[in-house]
Amino acid sequence: MPDYQAPLRDLRFVMDEMFDFPSHYAALPGGDDASPDVVAAILEEGARFSREVLLPLNQSGDREGCLLEGGDVKAPKGFKQAYQQYVEGGWPSLSAEPEFGGQGLPHSLGMVLSEMICATNLAWGMYPGLSHGAADALRHHGSDAQKATYLTKLVEGVWTGTMCLTEPHCGTDLGLIKTRAVPSDDGSYTVTGTKIFISAGEHDLAENIVHLVLAKLPDAPQGSKGISLFVVPKYLPNEAGEPGERNGVVCGSLEHKMGIHGNATCVMNFDAAKGYLVGAPNKGLACMFTMMNVARIGVGIQGLGLTEASFQNSLAYARDRLQMRALSGPKAPEKAADPIIVHPDVRRMLLTQKAFAEGGRMLVLYTAQMVDVVEHGQDAAERERAETLLGLLTPIVKAFLTEVGFEATNEGVQVFGGHGFIQEWGMEQLVRDARITRLYEGTTGIQALDLLGRKVLMSQGETLKAFTKEIHKFCQAEADNPALAEFIKPLAKLNAEWGELTMGVGMKAMQDRDEVGAASVDYLMYSGYVTLAYLFARAAKHASAALDGDDRAFYQAKLDTASFYYQRLLPRTRAHAAMVQAGGGSLMAISAEDFGLGFEI
């Protein structure tokens, strides 16, 4: 069975040394509650829960899957008991508002816990994971009555939440949804329609499930401007606020999937179900984006968690597996062969995983600080800056970390060789589970359009400049630091090129809007690599300053990983930049009718 140890030492480095989380927490309202001792205890207990409770259920849950009987779904054995422990431990309420029963701790702490959960049991983690987004949507847009009815239960974890967006015919184009909501005399709405791909849409872990559903009113405008948001509970709350009458919502079927078998991915049928409008009519998409942005960062964390899990198990295997002799001569002459970790190509695969795990962790925690500031910052200018950077980085977190997460898990299988393809080792499950992360909550292509089209070009590049100025100032400040010589010059060059590529796409897009779509994915990947380069340079600054301390091996490894990233992964920007500059001509040259020349359709 795969193993996992929460990377607490690396977390301490990133949180305490790189980003000074103790001072960050102290500046937030109620920050005294997030003292270093409290944070350490939370991380250690989260590590224990993830390894001892969730990890043993990961492979069994994958093999067993979920069972649908008469509209009711049973999660794999042990999932319900693990969820009860999760609730009893107070984990769902960790970063929720105290007025709704939460502990009021910073959101970033919950994000750190999420990495551990995703690394040990992604399918299980999706059951409570979506509840945070549902609670956020209701907190920002729900009425006082809706907050009183649903929020406390979601925060406690005794109820879970979902978001019901897409339908069989519309995919990402939500303007095409057909689900209808008809007003009733009592102020509620009758919701009818079918939603697909609903994660945790039906299960037996919690006593009630709160669905947030996109639907259209009878007089709604066409397209996305006519979408409204409704809260539709599985059981209608009675006067005491407890689950009462069963609502007209049922799981019609479970999807048979490539991965995340332990999570119920449902087709949900709403048959004259009673729902309640959240926010203003026809403004549902804006309300749902509150939930989706939380979910997108969460999916990026899923990519990070799977990367870390793949790296740890690959490393353990590479240290033990004996195969051939090193080309430079035996490294373990007392053994029949050398451990495969001595071979350069195995080290390439291990270091690729290590770099993406450590770089991804820096990116998530850098972003997590902004989430804290946006939610609780006291200074208006700081909140505005954090919100700008968060808007820019969210699609990068979601798409880049899931793309490289899938790459990392594939490399994990490769390290194991034929054994990686065999189920018992658990590596092929990581690949299957990782594959969905590139799809849900907006595919990589959708995130790329959001980044380049909406966040960068629609702001005339100002959103990007807020970040590239920060990188520029860092490069200026460290230009004469000999310990960072190998990092600063290439980072500064890429930072300048980032703006030039943006301007080039913008100029082409003025003539042909398809140029945005043609460049977007390569632009996002380029952006991700440069962002991690900046963070690795910052990490190298702190590591180089600490080499004379007691933990020299850790800091030297950090510097070596940064060097590997710059020498072996960052050059990928050259290909992405070339493809961005190539434009869309070759993509659009063949007509749709001529695509299939050479075979019959």
Q: How many CB atoms lie within 10 A of CB 22?
A: 15
Backbone angles phi, psi at 71, to 5 degrees: 90, -10
Q: What is the CA radius of gyration of the chain?
A: 24
The pairing of strands 235-237 and 228-233 is: unpaired
Which helix (H) or strand (E) covers residue 67, if one does? strand 67-69
Q: Per the structure block, which two tokens stand in for 203?
A: 């299960």
Rounded CA-CA distance 383/229 in Å is 27
Residue matched to tokens 């054994």: 419
Of 217, 117, 123, 136, nearest to 177 by C-alpha is 217
The single-letter code of the amino acid at 394 is: T
Distances (CA, A) of 246 to 96, 217, 512: 28, 23, 52
Of 74, 79, 398, nearest to 254 by C-alpha is 74
The pairing of strands 189-199 and 208-215 is: unpaired
Of 565, 102, 148, nearest to 351 by C-alpha is 565
Rounded CA-CA distance 397/391 in Å is 10
Rounded CA-CA distance 271/186 in Å is 18
Query: Mapping DSSP to helix (H, G, I), strand (E, B) and coil, where does residue 66 land?
Result: coil
Instruction: Report the DSSP beta bridge partners of residue 277.
Output: 230
Rounded CA-CA distance 528/441 in Å is 18
Buried b (16+ CB within 10 A) or exposed e, 498-508: beebbebbbeb
CA end-to-end span of the chain: 45
Of 101, 115, 118, nearest to 43 by C-alpha is 115
**Residues classed as catalytic:** 441
Instruction: Report the DSSP beta bridge partners of residue 235.
Output: 246
Rounded CA-CA distance 461/452 in Å is 9
Rounded CA-CA distance 247/43 in Å is 39
CA dihedral sign, ordered 211, 215, 218, 221: positive
Of 557, 561, 502, nearest to 533 by C-alpha is 561
Rounded CA-CA distance 262/83 in Å is 13
DSSP state of 276: E
